[in-house]
Amino acid sequence: DTEVTQTPKHLVMGMTNKKSLKCEQHMGHRAMYWYKQKAKKPPELMFVYSYEKLSINESVPSRFSPECPNSSLLNLHLHALQPEDSALYLCASSQAGGQLYGYTFGSGTRLTVV
């Protein structure tokens, strides 16, 4: 299995809702990532988990809460989002430590906040 699977593919949520994005990989990668991508812009890193521990938080607002329950799963919990948070949310995984071989992205979740 050489894929990163993200669910759901599309999500519409209100500003008072709580929702979660899910990401799964079975490549044995021990580093997992969340990126945010606005239209016509490159992906921007949000969080990095290495060996199931949060290693990088790129000053992301607390309304985004990541979780890594095990080495194959990564969640992003969403609460009280703003319309400007609407974007494509991408999950990626890679080998951990040293050079990031095998850095693979999922297809993303298209999030719309209304």
Closest CA to 25 of 80, 90, 88: 90
Binding residues vs other proteins (CB under 8 A): 4, 6, 31, 33, 41-45, 48, 50, 55-56, 90, 96-97, 99-101, 103-108, 110
Q: How far apart are alpha carbons 109 and 71 in whole angstroms?
A: 20
Least separation in angstroms between residue 28's CB and other proteins is 17
Least separation in angstroms between residue 16's CB and other proteins is 28
Q: Which CB sits closer to other proteins, 45 or 80? A: 45
Q: Which CB sits closer to other proteins, 18 or 41? A: 41
Instruction: Give the single-character DSSP code of 101.
Output: T
Q: What six digits make up the tokens of 94?
A: 């890679």
Q: What is the dihedral of CA 38, 44, 46, 52, to 10 degrees?
A: 120
Q: Which CB sits closer to other proteins, 66 or 108? A: 108
Least separation in angstroms between residue 33's CB and other proteins is 7
Q: Which CB sits closer to other proteins, 60 or 96? A: 96
Q: What six digits make up the tokens of 8?
A: 């759901």
106 and 92 in contact (C-beta within 8 Å)? Answer: yes
Least separation in angstroms between residue 70's CB and other proteins is 19
